């Protein structure tokens, strides 16, 4: 039975991925800050697979390492790391952007991903195998107006995926990125700080991707034979052609 650690499992893509992998027979480690949600998900999944919870803020370097250190023997050998935790904060032109939002995006989406990876990669190297999937974004391929720092954080994820793949080559570790386009999750609620009307508008008038669509792709990627590494996969709703071209009548 393979063990997968999923960051950001309390909601959206991470939660759906945890469910999908759990149902497919992977042992899952659910991570996130909202412990109540992690506990609820654990109780839902426990009849299907072995589940363990780690509640930490990916921004807190010490917490990341000390929490991962507490994993019991059965969960310690992580085969699959899904670096998913992340969000956008704000959608403002650079000249009026909120610096706390900038810090949050760079600290969570970039540095948080690095801390979690740093805590897990040495074990993978020792065991001679592993699979890391970083959740990038179409925003990591193409910048859009007012997306400035979020796009920069996801471009950094793109660079880190390439860098990890090079540095870990020869160590038996597969590294790849999945880059979703518009996906209906709590992403826009967070971006617009709980303004539900603004958040809902993002996904109105077209068929956005759902978290389950991405979870299905993640399961496909991790279940390929060992010699196959899906290095970089971008997926958009059919209505989306680029980060700025969206047919809301599709």
Judged by beta carbon, residue 124 or residue 151, the one nearer ligand NDP is: 151
Q: Which helix (H) or strand (E) holds 236?
A: none
Q: How far is the CB of 77 from ligand 8X3 (least distance, A)?
A: 31
For residue 97, the minimal CB distance to ligand NDP (Å) is 17
CA distance 36 to 44: 13
12 lies in the site for ligand NDP, by CB under 6 A: yes
| Backbone torsion region of residue 196, taken as left when φ is above 0, otherwise alpha when ψ lies between -120 and 50, otherwise beta | alpha
Half-sphere exposure of 234 (CA within 13 A, CB side): 14
| Interface map 82-121 toward ligand NDP (x if CB under 6 A) | --xxxx--------------------x-------------
Helices and strands (H and E) in the chain: how many = 10, 9
Among 52, 102, 187, 192, binds ligand NDP (CB under 6 A): 187
- Helix H segments across 24-174? 35-45, 61-69, 73-76, 99-105, 113-127, 148-168
Query: Is 150 part of the annotated catalytic residue set?
Result: yes
Catalytic residue among 26, 52, 115, 150: 150
| Residue of minimal Cβ distance to ligand 8X3 | 137
Q: Which residues sit at the interface with ligand 8X3, rule CB under 6 A?
A: 137-139, 147, 181-182, 243
Secondary structure of 50-87 in HEC code, one letter for each residue: CEEEEECCCCCHHHHHHHHHCCCHHHHCCCEEEECCCC
Q: Which is nearer to ligand NDP, 6 or 168 (CB)?
A: 6
Q: Are 130 and 81 within 8 A, CB to CB?
A: yes
**Interface residue with ligand NDP, options 180, 222, 237, 246 (CB under 6 A):** 180
Between 139 and 221, name the residue whose CB sits nearer to ligand 8X3: 139
166 Cβ neighbours under 8 A, 6+ residues apart: none
Which positions touch ligand NDP (CB under 6 A)? 7-14, 32-34, 57-59, 84-87, 108, 135, 137, 180, 182-183, 185-187, 190, 211
Residue positions annotated with a catalytic role: 150
């Amino acid at each position: 039975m393979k063990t997968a650690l999923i960051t950001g499992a309390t909601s959206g893509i991470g939660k759906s991925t945890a469910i999908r992998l759990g149902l497919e027979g992977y042992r899952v480690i659910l991570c996130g800050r909202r412990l109540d949600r992690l506990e609820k998900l654990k109780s839902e999944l426990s009849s299907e697979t072995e589940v363990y919870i780690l509640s930490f803020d990916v921004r807190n370097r010490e917490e990341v390492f000390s929490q991962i250190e507490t994993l019991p023997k059965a969960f310690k050998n992580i085969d699959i790391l899904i670096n998913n935790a992340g969000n956008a904060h704000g959608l403002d032109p650079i000249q009026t952007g909120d610096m706390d939002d900038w810090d949050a995006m760079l600290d969570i989406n970039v540095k948080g991903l690095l801390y979690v990876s740093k805590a897990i990669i040495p074990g993978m190297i020792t065991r001679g195998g592993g699979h890391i999937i970083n959740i990038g974004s179409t925003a990591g391929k193409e910048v859009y107006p007012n997306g400035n720092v979020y796009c920069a954080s996801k471009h950094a994820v793109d660079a880190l995926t390439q860098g990890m793949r090079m540095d870990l080559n020869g160590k038996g570790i597969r590294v790849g990125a999945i880059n979703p386009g518009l996906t209906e999750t709590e992403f826009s609620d967070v971006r617009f700080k709980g303004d539900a009307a603004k958040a809902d508008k993002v996904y109105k008038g077209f068929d956005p991707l759902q978290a389950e669509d991405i979870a299905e792709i993640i399961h496909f990627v991790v279940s390929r034979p060992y010699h196959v590494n899906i290095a970089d996969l971008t997926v958009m709703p059919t209505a989306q052609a680029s980060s700025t071209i969206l047919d809301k009548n599709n």
